[in-house]
Amino acid sequence: MVYCEMIIMSRNKSPGIKARLSHALRSNRNVPVFAAAKTNRGVTRNFKQRHWRRRKLKLTEA
C-alpha cells in the first residue's frame, strides 16, 4: 500500500522525504465510521488532521 502512494509522487525526492510524505498522506484521514459507532460518537474528530494550505509539514532530510 505504501508503494502505490509513493509512485504518485514525482521522482526528484529522496526516499526519506517520500516516506514521510506518504505517512502524512495516510494519517490525514477522517475517523472511521466504526470507531465513532463503537465509542457512541465519543470519538468523532481527528485532531491531527491537517489542511494543505493552513498547516504545513515540517520535513527535514535525516
Q: Name the residue type at position 18.
A: K
Whether 28 and 49 have beta carbons less than 8 Å apart is answered as yes
As a whole number of angstroms, the distance between CA 32 and CA 22 comes to 19
Q: What is the pLDDT of residues 3-41, one digit of tens each?
A: 555 556 778 988 899 999 999 999 999 999 999 999 999
Q: Where are the domains of the chain?
A: 16-62
Predicted local confidence at residue 53, as pLDDT: 95
pTM (2 d.p.): 0.71
Second CATH level (architecture) for the domain 16-62: Orthogonal Bundle (1.10)
